[in-house]
Structure 1
Amino acid sequence: MLQIDTWKRVLIWLTVVVGLLLALPNAFYTRVETRNDAVKALEAGSSAPGLQEQAELWPTWLPSGLVNLGLDLRGGAHLLAEVKVEDVYETRIKAMWPEIRDMLREERATIGTIRLQKGAEDELRIRISQADQVERAASLVRGLARPVASLAAAGASDIDVSTDGTDVIVRLSEAEKVQTDDRTVRQALEIVRNRIDQVGTREPTIQRQGAKRILIQVPGIGSAAELKTIIGTTAQLTFQPVIGRTTDETTRPGPGEELLPSRDEKTADGEPIYYVLEQAPVVTGEDLVDAQPSFDQNGQPAVNFRFDASGARRFGDYTAENIGNPFAIVLDGEVISAPTIRDHIGGGSGIITGRFTLEESTNLAVLLRAGALPAGLEFLEERTIGPELGADSIEAGKIACIVAFIGVLIFMFLSYGMFGIFANIALIINVGLIFGLLSLIGATLTLPGIAGIVLTIGMAVDANVLVFERIREEIKAERGPARAIDLGYEKALSAIFDANITTFITAVILYAVGSGPVRGFAITLGMGIITSVFAALFVTRVIVVIWFERRRPKTLEV
């Protein structure tokens, strides 16, 4: 018997209403977007004029989620960056020198004096005064080796130690370089994502491409140059012991030392000042857990910082042992201040001053909070996509959807008459449900995504066609109208599920192995399949049942 329980009807129509309500904000895109931005600004503590009025542009009791527009629809910036992983080799190997130096000094009675020699950037070359003890020194250094944290390199050490005359040479092993490359790119990827998220841009695409490259696409940003400014600064913060200071930029630092310029300090004659520092830092920006813009005791912009437990302990121990000595705060190769340690600094917090403007202190806090890039980025490709191109794409997508929509509506009406109208009503609801689902999950719509919607519109009536053809067959077999409709839905069910499940599996695979535009297409295709099946099997059936209950036709014209 052709019937649907009342609770099922209520549940179906409730689902339709909720889906259409979720899709509703997209019909007033600019207004809702302005309102959402104003609400975020108010929640962040902003008091700019007009924000409250903008926050009231859309009722609070209605959903306010939107389908985010991708780079090709909104316009924005596109960058392809390569991570300079080789920079990390030098940093890693230089950081080992204090540990190696302290260990070999304990064996001075046996191996003699040690001295760091100039060598390649990615190696430590240590000269031993007792030539016959070089192998013993090398053996001691090998004892500092650690296993590589990788199943693929099981049993391998992180350093290779060799000898050359009276020199012990320390390099990173090949297995460790492979692990370092992967770790560096992953870390750079995460930090780039954090920095862009701190700025508050909408739905950026940030993903790894190949072994060393990162693809960055940010909709709504002004230009590629602006995006490079946000992510290109390394913000490498270190706290390093001071050996001395000079005005001679040709000063040659000793082994394990480096010469860095002061950011603001100058002599009375206006000459720049340079600092000779130990290369191995006491603590680095990686030990920071927070950084916030603030003001110093003179009311000048500054940055408050706080270390994690490990960094706080090392910083506290160093300040306790070096009272009266200066130490340098170094940011991206410049000494921004070099205060003298007056007392033990416990607690792991402090303040960075350096003649900042308010904007500079805020930007520095953002960069430090997001983390330092482990290596530099080389930008291989950059493009700025104007909003006009995005507007043209949206207009073209609208036309494609409208043409496809009207074509399907006309075809269904001409082919199936009244039942075609029922299918068309379900199709209109189906498109609304697609946008409702996309808004609910915060998906990003791109040109391929629009193609997925157009394809869904064409495929959405497939299930209805299967059902209606089955109903025709049952009418030809001289079934009654109620029985023909009931059997039509029952016999078409397996074919509908088979066709849509295989297409859905394809969409899942596209999403899993694809990237960027391919994923956008897969998302809209997958969402479209779900809503299409729902609309065909439930919405259309409820409409047909309601019509049948009211008209009670003796014959059916399908």
Structure 2
Amino acid sequence: MEPMALWKRVLILLICAWGIVGAVPNLFYSRVERHNDAVAAIEAAGGTATPEQEAARAEWPDFLPSALVNLGLDLRGGAHLLAEVKVEDVYKSRMDNLWPEVRDRLRDLRDQVGAVRRAPSPDDVLRVTLSKPEGMAAALEAVRGLGSSVVSLTGIGKSTLDVTAEGSDIVVRLSEAEKQATDERTIQQSLEIIRRRVDEAGTREPTIQRQGENRILIQVPGIGSAQELKALIGQTAKLSFNAVVSRTTDAAATPGPRNVLLPSLDEPGVYYIVEDTPVVSGEDLVDAQPTFDQNGRPAVSFRFDTTGARLFGDYTAANIGAPFAIVLDGKVISAPVIQSHIPGGSGIITGNFSIEESTRLAVLLRAGALPAEMSFLEERTIGPELGADSIAAGKIAAMVAGAVVVLYMLASYGLFGLFANIALVFNMALIFAALSAIGGTLTLPGIAGIVLTIGMAVDANVLVFERIREELRQNRNAGRAIELGYQRALSAIIDANITTFITAAVLFLVGAGPVRGFAITLGIGIITSVFTAIYVTRLLVEIWYRARRPATVVV
């Protein structure tokens, strides 16, 4: 039997040692988790630690690895939401924002087109009526000049606007190419903002991914309920600062052109008529933090970027003594009177907030506004008790499967079966070490993948051992039979596992949620199983063979 090269033996032992060391923290999951949370909190506080944080940090040595396998929603408990993004909202916003530009562009052609006014139309259409239809050609050319090239791979060379004439009206729509690009941007922006909001709340390993054309799957382990998750991500949090025209108690008051009637959030029965076009929007915000006002009540401080700071400062300087509405999601949360010029682009939002409400509002504003409203098609809350039951059931399944496999290998292959069982232990350690290293999430289907891996791991050893038996029946000496057994079984092992690995890769690429959890553990398990079957068991057999030098072997 040819000895394995020294560098191979060293490398195998190092990988196995890494697997054991990397998997050990998962045996002390709660302690290591408290240690990791304390370390993160201390770092966030600039190195300052409370006695409780120091005690939690001391539960696990700093010099040992502390990466853990993240537990999925079905194991830890938490909230599950399936949301549909109303991408049509963005079309309306685009048309509303386009109208002032169209009006200003046509104003330069007043002699040719006469007076212009916005006519009633669907939300995704801007209809402009000309008093002099004979100037339609010049008007169409001017409005088409507001379009630009579509920013997408499939829309190169196409305009963002579709501008046509219907009688004395100019009809403006987003082009089909621009609608597709807008839908894609809206979904991607919604994904990013939801991810920011969830991350701001300090939750651990959420699953946030697109499903279908306009749906988003959100799974957040460890959160109290689906309602709590909806409160965090369900608001659009569209903040704007608008000039106040008047204050009224008449809910049916006519706001007038280019104005809008909005209810007060803190004053029931009170309404504000504000200018429809904001002075500054929430898109210019760069920071928002919970704080307290001069009376010690919860509030939110904010800070604008350079552009927003200039606009905010110019407006406050020119409108001292006038009220200024702070509008959040279509409601006036505060309408203070401008007392003086406010330079620097920072201020404070006051209202009847609780500490929790001011904190959540700050999170929403920091994360940015959702580009469109979302409706929730499905929501579930999974309690931690159910997660604990799932973990217990998974442990039992894994232990029963492992025990049956161990007994079978011992009964069928004796000492060689013991070597396979030892390699199986290293295989399990490597799986958990790999999941911990990549930050993988373990789900209940993932546990099923591990149980399947246990059977697949010894399957490779069975191929090797049966091949060794076949070589022994051909009167090979023990060393040569072992060597040929590993060599000639290799192709069958590789072929079988490559096809299974391809299946796992396809499941990961096209699947979602639990399917991906199964695919990840199965894929990692295939790699570790091949490694332990081909190299670890061979190293154990070689060490035994060189120590005993048997004339014959019984497999």
Provide the TM-score with structure 1 as the length reference: 0.91
- Which residue is equivalent to 1:455? 452
Q: Secondary structure at the match of 1:50?
A: helix
Unaligned runs of 5+ in 1: none
Q: Secondary structure at the match of 2:253?
A: coil
Q: Secondary structure at the match of 1:379?
A: strand
- Which residue is equivalent to 1:513? 510
On the 8 A contact 2:232/2:360 being kept in 1, the answer is no
1:238 shift after superposition: 1.4
- Which residue is equivalent to 1:52? 54
Q: Secondary structure at the match of 1:485?
A: helix
Residue 415 of structure 1 aligns to which amino acid in structure 2? S
Q: Comparing 340-349 with 6-15, which one deviates more in the overlay?
A: 340-349
Residue 541 of structure 1 aligns to which amino acid in structure 2? R
- Which residue is equivalent to 1:42? 42
- Which residue is equivalent to 1:277? 274
Residue 100 of structure 1, aligned match among 96, 99, 102: 102
On the 8 A contact 2:243/2:278 being kept in 1, the answer is yes
Q: For residues 24 and 113 of structure 1, what CA distance do their matches in structure 2 show?
A: 77
Q: Secondary structure at the match of 2:289?
A: strand
Distance 1:451 1:200, change over 3 A: same
Say whether 1:478 aligns with 2:475: yes
Q: For residues 541 and 535 of structure 1, what CA distance do their matches in structure 2 show?
A: 9
Say whether 1:332 aligns with 2:329: yes
Residue 186 of structure 1 aligns to which amino acid in structure 2? Q
- Which residue is equivalent to 1:468? 465
- Which residue is equivalent to 1:78? 80
Say whether 1:8 aligns with 2:8: yes
Residue 416 of structure 1 aligns to which amino acid in structure 2? Y
1:163 shift after superposition: 4.3
1:43 shift after superposition: 2.9
On the 8 A contact 1:323/1:341 being kept in 2, the answer is yes
Q: For residues 532 and 107 of structure 2, what CA distance do their matches in structure 1 show?
A: 78
Question: What are the Cα deviations for residues 192-251 of structure 1, in whole angstroms up to 9, with x where unaligned?
Answer: 111111112122111111111111111222211111111111111112233333333221
Residue 199 of structure 1 aligns to which amino acid in structure 2? A
Q: How does 1:303-314 map to 2 (within 5 A)?
A: 303-314=300-311
Residue 289 of structure 2, aligned match among 289, 292, 298: 292
Q: For residues 326 and 165 of structure 2, what CA distance do their matches in structure 1 show?
A: 36
Q: For residues 357 and 388 of structure 1, what CA distance do their matches in structure 2 show?
A: 31
- Which residue is equivalent to 1:20? 20
Residue 10 of structure 1 aligns to which amino acid in structure 2? V
Q: For residues 99 and 388 of structure 2, what CA distance do their matches in structure 1 show?
A: 57
Question: What are the Cα deviations for residues 153-174 of structure 1, in whole angstroms up to 9, with x where unaligned?
Answer: 4444323334455443433334
1:387 shift after superposition: 2.2
Q: Comparing 347-356 with 444-453, which one deviates more in the overlay?
A: 347-356
Say whether 1:398 aligns with 2:395: yes
Distance 1:419 1:228, change over 3 A: same
Say whether 1:366 aligns with 2:363: yes
Q: Comparing 221-230 with 7-16, which one deviates more in the overlay?
A: 7-16
Query: What is the total number of aligned residue pairs between the two structures?
Result: 553
Residue 328 of structure 1 aligns to which amino acid in structure 2? A
Q: For residues 437 and 523 of structure 1, what CA distance do their matches in structure 2 show?
A: 10
Q: For residues 197 and 441 of structure 2, what CA distance do their matches in structure 1 show?
A: 20
Residue 122 of structure 1 aligns to which amino acid in structure 2? D
On the 8 A contact 1:98/1:280 being kept in 2, the answer is no
- Which residue is equivalent to 1:207? 209
Q: Secondary structure at the match of 2:177?
A: helix
- Which residue is equivalent to 1:422? 419
Question: What are the Cα deviations for residues 41-75 of structure 1, in whole angstroms up to 9, with x where unaligned?
Answer: 33333866633222222222221221111112222
Residue 412 of structure 1 aligns to which amino acid in structure 2? M
1:347 shift after superposition: 4.5
Say whether 1:171 aligns with 2:173: yes
- Which residue is equivalent to 1:183? 185
Identical columns (%) = 65
Distance 1:338 1:550, change over 3 A: same
Distance 1:158 1:168, change over 3 A: same
Distance 1:88 1:251, change over 3 A: same
On the 8 A contact 2:508/2:519 being kept in 1, the answer is yes
Q: For residues 144 and 482 of structure 1, what CA distance do their matches in structure 2 show?
A: 82
Provide the TM-score with structure 2 as the length reference: 0.92
On the 8 A contact 1:127/1:167 being kept in 2, the answer is yes
Q: Secondary structure at the match of 1:200?
A: coil
1:529 shift after superposition: 1.2
Question: What are the Cα deviations for residues 310-346 of structure 1, in whole angstroms up to 9, with x where unaligned?
Answer: 5445545655666665543211112233345566655
Distance 1:195 1:308, change over 3 A: same
Q: For residues 524 and 514 of structure 2, what CA distance do their matches in structure 1 show?
A: 16
On the 8 A contact 2:9/2:539 being kept in 1, the answer is yes
Q: Secondary structure at the match of 1:64?
A: coil
Q: Comparing 434-443 with 499-508, which one deviates more in the overlay?
A: 499-508
Question: What are the Cα deviations for residues 135-155 of structure 1, in whole angstroms up to 9, with x where unaligned?
Answer: 543442222122322343444
Q: Comparing 159-168 with 179-188, which one deviates more in the overlay?
A: 159-168
Distance 1:253 1:547, change over 3 A: same
On the 8 A contact 1:285/1:368 being kept in 2, the answer is yes
Q: For residues 353 and 105 of structure 2, what CA distance do their matches in structure 1 show?
A: 41
Question: What are the Cα deviations for residues 370-411 of structure 1, in whole angstroms up to 9, with x where unaligned?
Answer: 111111111111111222222222222122211211111111
Question: What are the Cα deviations for residues 101-159 of structure 1, in whole angstroms up to 9, with x where unaligned?
Answer: 22223333443333334443333343434354355434422221223223434444323
1:8 shift after superposition: 3.2
Q: For residues 6 and 149 of structure 2, what CA distance do their matches in structure 1 show?
A: 67
Residue 536 of structure 2, aligned match among 518, 539, 550: 539
Residue 329 of structure 2 aligns to which amino acid in structure 1? D
Distance 1:55 1:525, change over 3 A: same
- Which residue is equivalent to 1:31? 31
On the 8 A contact 2:112/2:134 being kept in 1, the answer is no
Distance 1:522 1:472, change over 3 A: same
Q: For residues 524 and 479 of structure 2, what CA distance do their matches in structure 1 show?
A: 32
Q: Cα RMSD over matched residues?
A: 2.5
Q: For residues 98 and 203 of structure 1, what CA distance do their matches in structure 2 show?
A: 44
Residue 330 of structure 1 aligns to which amino acid in structure 2? V
Say whether 1:527 aligns with 2:539: no
